[in-house]
């Protein structure tokens, strides 16, 4: 709702009231319409101020309303009525004015913002465009280039930047509502014609066509199949080329297309999924709201390879004191130099001082004795990690949390090496750790809610999206990656090429196909794991045994490349060839194609034509099937956890909502039917066998994803 009061005798003050972010729900819109009518009809009122309660102007349209039937006064006519009002209307922007909130402010005649406020039009991130006149008013107010930037990226700007653009008229460090009320008194009675943005001509640079062409090309390149950024460019182009009313009509048409697209549904789901993962729970019943974290002031990182360096940077940048340990002096010096460079470059980009003094470097594990939390990031080797955990347990002060950055090893085995296994959790970062947003916080059977809560809070403080997951091989992300990688290799054996598989996956929206991604990560990483598991064996006998290991189909293709020293980008050769080691430009490699031909001939495999659909179905459905197993096993609490992990950690296209949401868009029955089909064709591939939970969900009529947790609960209670 909105509250109407008269202040200072002549100012009608409309306060939006819809906690927590004053979203423009039906009740709020009704409140604004009613309050405006009152303000315009009261002769004592000479001007109006609109503000939001609790220091927040508005977080925009109420996203929860998008899924259902819209009720209450529509936003567009409401904003037009404000702009057309005969008395000046001033927006007092505190906190945030986002999306429809900023569009409401653009309908006002003046905008006063607090210096700490942030404004933006993030609709594109929800698969929409600023469809309440924002795409038409913003370019008229701040010019086409700046409007294109804000609308296509959805980025928020500070009040200072907004002032520079001319998006707000004034900023203040004082009470914004008081300043706005005084301002409203001053402008009362002044002519308003020049204050109605919809009447402004659109400011275009002389080479506007070239600009639109360039922006459109950039947007198409980076959108990875998302349609909203393209519609945003088209809407701004309408503002630049059409009269306001026609531009609004174009905005409405484009918005209608987006509103009915599956992409906006996926992005809205993902918006709430990101927030849902913060409300973590453990199978024991411990939860985010009943488990208090312990403050961490000083942390340590053990092992300063690529991951350890990134983690150190992330901690230092967030203001934590860090003890960074690498046992060899030479490696320590190299790491110090690299970390300082990363901090300096990051600080330059953000216009702040580099946090070099936050880090103390040392060669001795004793130097972590007084820290609150340690993150071990040594080489992925269980024996080595166990030794480190034994040492840490002996050295650290009582109560220190011991965390491992392992990407899939058993947290419980590490916890067992310590005196206080309840203080041990996994903190699985993704490379580069100071850039990638995802953090898997892994609890073992002995991890305490206190340790999980502390790791989750630390993750939040260093800017990560943290997801609490259970302990199993590969946790959630890497466990699901396994069948995906496996199918990609099988497809090569059956006739596909790495380029074709990657092309299909990149057209689907992945930033990189599976083979380009493997080349980037390094093929030797998985090879070492497979050797440790007894899967990759040097010089296996040829014939069927080579392709059948531990009772299931196995492709040794990756092992064979590694045996040739082809580790990917770092060696200049992998699934692709590169100009030189370290180069990132992947080129098809004729050697690889001959190698595949010879391999197929050796194993009497006849290459067949594989189409797009088969690549997508086998790679994605096998991964989704594993996702269902993960839910069944209780490793992830809900589908949202899996989807957030995949979007933030594995470049799954956000506009497809994540793998589990994607399964709902395909139809669970179709996923089940195709898995059955492929499993029949490949009975020696267990990952293609549909899991029970999927069958149960289909059996219970494929309920919406928000209802899966109930089915999962039932399935688990029957176990």
Ligand X SMILES: CCCCCCC/C=C/C(=O)SCCNC(=O)CCNC(=O)[C@H](O)C(C)(C)COP(=O)(O)OP(=O)(O)OC[C@H]1O[C@@H](n2cnc3c(N)ncnc32)[C@H](O)[C@@H]1OP(=O)(O)O
Q: How many angstroms separate the CA atoms of 709 and 368, rounded?
A: 41
Whether the bond between 651 and the residue before it is cis, its omega within 30 degrees of 0, is no
Catalytic residue among 83, 94, 123, 376: 123
Q: CB of residue 75 vs ligand X: minimum separation in angstroms? A: 5
Whichever of 272 and 379 has its CB closer to ligand X, that residue is 272
Whichever of 123 and 326 has its CB closer to ligand X, that residue is 123
Whichever of 101 and 513 has its CB closer to ligand X, that residue is 101
Q: CB of residue 134 vs ligand X: minimum separation in angstroms? A: 7
Whichever of 119 and 425 has its CB closer to ligand X, that residue is 119
Query: Exposed (0-12), middle (13-18) or buried (19+): which is 651, by Cβ within 10 Å?
Result: middle
Residue 598 bears catalytic tag:
no
Q: The tokens of 540 are what?
A: 């296996």
Whichever of 32 and 316 has its CB closer to ligand X, that residue is 32
Q: The tokens of 211 are what?
A: 């600009």
Q: CB of residue 306 vs ligand X: minimum separation in angstroms? A: 30
Q: How many angstroms separate the CA atoms of 82 and 165, rounded?
A: 23
Give, in order, the Cα–Cα distances in Å from 40 to each of 13, 16, 252, 277. 12, 18, 28, 45
Q: CB of residue 716 vs ligand X: minimum separation in angstroms? A: 25
Q: CB of residue 350 vs ligand X: minimum separation in angstroms? A: 19
Q: Are 388 and 395 in contact (CB under 8 A)?
A: no
Q: Are 129 and 96 in contact (CB under 8 A)?
A: no
Q: What are phi and psi of 327, to 5 degrees?
A: -70, -30
Residues that bind ligand X (CB under 6 A): 20-21, 23, 59-64, 75, 96, 98-100, 122-123, 126, 128, 131-132, 255, 272, 275
Whichever of 233 and 481 has its CB closer to ligand X, that residue is 233
Q: Are 403 and 372 in contact (CB under 8 A)?
A: no
Considering only CA atoms, which of 359, 303, 311 is closest in space to residue 332?
303
Q: How many angstroms separate the CA atoms of 214 and 449, rounded?
A: 51
Q: What is the three-class DSSP state of 588?
A: coil
Q: Are 711 and 693 in contact (CB under 8 A)?
A: yes
Whichever of 152 and 404 has its CB closer to ligand X, that residue is 152
Q: Which residues contact 295 (CB under 8 A, 6 or more apart)?
A: 372
Q: Which residues contact 228 (CB under 8 A, 6 or more apart)?
A: 123, 124, 126, 127, 128, 129, 258, 263, 264, 267, 655
Q: CB of residue 256 vs ligand X: minimum separation in angstroms? A: 7
Q: CB of residue 29 vs ligand X: minimum separation in angstroms? A: 10
Q: What is the DSSP annotation of 93-158?
A: E-SEEETHHHHHHHHSSEEEEETT-EEE-GGGGGT---TTTHHHHHHHHH-HHHHHHHHHH---EE
Q: Are 312 and 359 in contact (CB under 8 A)?
A: yes
Whichever of 132 and 233 has its CB closer to ligand X, that residue is 132
Element (H, E) at 194: none
Whichever of 26 and 535 has its CB closer to ligand X, that residue is 26
Q: CB of residue 74 vs ligand X: minimum separation in angstroms? A: 7
Whichever of 116 and 695 has its CB closer to ligand X, that residue is 116
Element (H, E) at 13: strand 11-16
Question: What is the Cα 576 distance to its own chain's centre?
Answer: 28
CA dihedral 267, 268, 269, 274 (to 10 degrees): 80
CA angle 9, 13, 18 (to 5 degrees): 155
Whichever of 63 and 525 has its CB closer to ligand X, that residue is 63
Q: Which residue is nearest to ligand X (CB)?
A: 99
Question: What is the Cα 518 distance to its own chain's centre?
Answer: 21
Catalytic residue among 83, 103, 493, 626: 103
Q: CB of residue 115 vs ligand X: minimum separation in angstroms? A: 17
Q: How many angstroms separate the CA atoms of 56 and 97, rounded?
A: 8
Whichever of 240 and 255 has its CB closer to ligand X, that residue is 255
Q: The tokens of 409 are what?
A: 């090893």
Q: The tokens of 650 are what?
A: 């594995």
Residue 65 bears catalytic tag:
no
- Residue 522: left if φ>0, alpha if ψ -120 to 50, beta else—which one? left
Q: How many angstroms separate the CA atoms of 485 and 623, rounded?
A: 9
Q: Which residues contact 118 (CB under 8 A, 6 or more apart)?
A: 95, 96, 98, 156, 157, 158, 159
Q: How many angstroms separate the CA atoms of 262 and 152, rounded?
A: 19
Question: What is the Cα 445 distance to its own chain's centre?
Answer: 28
Q: How many residues does the chain have?
A: 719
Which residue numbers are catalytic?
103, 123
């Amino acid at each position: 709702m909105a509250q109407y009061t008269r202040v200072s005798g002549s100012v009608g003050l409309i306060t939006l009231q819809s906690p927590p972010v004053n979203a423009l729900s039906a009740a709020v819109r009704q409140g604004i319409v009613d309050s405006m009518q009152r303000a315009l009809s009261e002769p004592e009122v000479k001007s109006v101020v609109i503000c939001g309660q609790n220091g927040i102007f508005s977080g925009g349209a109420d996203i929860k309303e998008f899924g259902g039937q819209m009720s209450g006064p529509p936003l567009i006519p409401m904003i037009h009525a404000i702009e057309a009002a005969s008395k000046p209307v001033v927006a007092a922007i505190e906190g945030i004015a986002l999306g429809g909130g900023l569009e409401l402010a653009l309908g006002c005649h003046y905008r006063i913002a607090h210096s700490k406020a942030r404004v933006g039009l993030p609709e594109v991130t929800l698969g929409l465009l600023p469809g309440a006149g924002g795409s038409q008013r913003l370019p008229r107010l701040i010019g086409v280039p700046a409007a294109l930037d804000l609308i296509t990226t959805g980025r928020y700007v500070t009040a200072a930047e907004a002032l520079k653009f001319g998006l707000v008229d004034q900023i203040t460090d004082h009470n914004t509502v008081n300043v706005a009320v005084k301002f409203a008194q001053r402008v009362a009675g002044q002519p308003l014609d020049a204050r109605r943005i919809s009447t402004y001509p659109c400011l275009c640079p002389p080479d506007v066509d070239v600009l639109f062409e360039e922006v459109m090309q950039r947007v198409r390149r980076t959108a990875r199949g998302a349609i909203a950024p393209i519609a945003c460019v088209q809407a701004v182009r309408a503002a630049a080329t059409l009269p306001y009313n026609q531009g609004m009509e174009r905005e409405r048409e484009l918005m209608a297309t987006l509103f009915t697209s599956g992409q906006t549904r996926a992005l809205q789901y993902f918006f709430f999924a990101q927030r849902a993962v913060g409300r973590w729970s453990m199978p024991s019943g411990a939860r985010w709201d009943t488990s208090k974290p312990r403050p961490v002031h000083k942390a340590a990182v053990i092992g300063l390879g690529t991951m350890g360096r990134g983690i150190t940077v992330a901690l230092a940048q967030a203001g934590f004191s860090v003890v960074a340990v690498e046992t060899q002096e030479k490696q320590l010096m190299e790491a110090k130099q690299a970390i300082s460079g990363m901090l300096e470059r990051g600080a330059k980009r953000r216009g702040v001082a580099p946090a070099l003094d936050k880090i103390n470097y040392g060669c001795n594990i004793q130097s972590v004795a007084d820290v609150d939390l340690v993150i071990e990031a040594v080489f992925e080797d269980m024996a080595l990690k166990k030794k480190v955990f034994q040492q840490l347990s002996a050295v650290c002060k009582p109560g220190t949390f011991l965390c491992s950055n392992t990407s899939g090893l058993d947290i419980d085995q590490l916890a067992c090496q310590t005196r206080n296994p309840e203080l041990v959790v996994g903190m699985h970062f993704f490379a580069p750790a100071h850039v990638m947003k995802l953090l898997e916080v892994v609890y073992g059977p002995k991890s305490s809610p206190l340790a999980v809560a502390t790791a989750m809070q630390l993750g939040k403080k260093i800017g990560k999206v943290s997801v609490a997951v259970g302990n199993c091989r590969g946790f959630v992300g890497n466990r699901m990656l396994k069948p995906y990688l496996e199918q990609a290799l099988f497809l090569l054996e059956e006739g596909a090429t790495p380029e074709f598989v990657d092309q299909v996956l990149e057209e689907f929206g992945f930033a990189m196909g599976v083979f380009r991604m493997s080349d980037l990560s390094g093929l030797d990483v998985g090879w070492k794991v497979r050797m440790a598991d007894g899967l990759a064996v040097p010089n296996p006998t040829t014939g069927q045994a080579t392709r059948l290991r531990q009772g299931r189909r196995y492709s040794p293709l990756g092992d064979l490349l590694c045996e040739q020293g082809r580790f990917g980008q770092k060696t200049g050769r992998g699934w692709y060839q590169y100009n030189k080691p370290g180069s990132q430009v992947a080129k098809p490699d004729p050697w690889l194609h001959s190698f595949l031909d010879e391999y197929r001939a050796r194993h009497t495999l006849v290459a067949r034509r594989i189409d797009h659909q088969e690549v997508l179905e086998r790679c994605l459905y096998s991964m989704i099937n594993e996702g269902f197993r993960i839910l069944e096993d209780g490793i992830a609490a809900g589908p949202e956890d899996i989807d957030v992990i995949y979007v933030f950690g594995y470049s799954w296209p956000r506009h497809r909502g994540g793998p589990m949401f994607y399964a709902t868009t395909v139809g669970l029955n179709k996923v089940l039917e195709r898995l059955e089909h492929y499993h029949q064709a490949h009975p020696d591939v267990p990952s293609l066998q549909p899991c029970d939970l999927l069958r149960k969900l289909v059996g219970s009529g494929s309920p919406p994803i928000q209802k899966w947790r109930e089915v999962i609960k039932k399935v688990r209670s029957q176990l």
